[in-house]
Amino acid sequence: MIDERAVEIWNDELEELFLRTGHRFQRVEPRRRMRDYIRGLLGRLRAVDILCRSG
C-alpha cells in the first residue's frame, strides 16, 4: 500500500518536472493542460496497478 508520504514525494517530483518543462510553453493554459494530462495518465496507471495486484 502507498502511504501519504510516498504520495507527497511523488507529487513534489512531478511538480519539479512541470517547472523544468514549463518554459517550453508560451502561455500558462497549455502548461496546465500538459500537467493535467500527465497527472491523468499516471493516475490511471496507478489505478491499473492497484487492480492488478488485488486480482
CA distances from 51 to 9, 10, 32, 55 (A): 22, 20, 28, 6
Please give the model's pTM, rounded to 2 decimal places.
Answer: 0.61
Start-end of H helices in 1-55: 4-21, 28-54
Over the stretch 8-54, which tens digit does the pLDDT of each residue have? 888 898 899 999 998 998 999 999 998 888 888 887 666 555 556 65
Q: Which residues contact 41 (CB under 8 A, 6 or more apart)?
A: none
Q: How far apart are CA 17 and CA 2, in angstroms?
A: 21
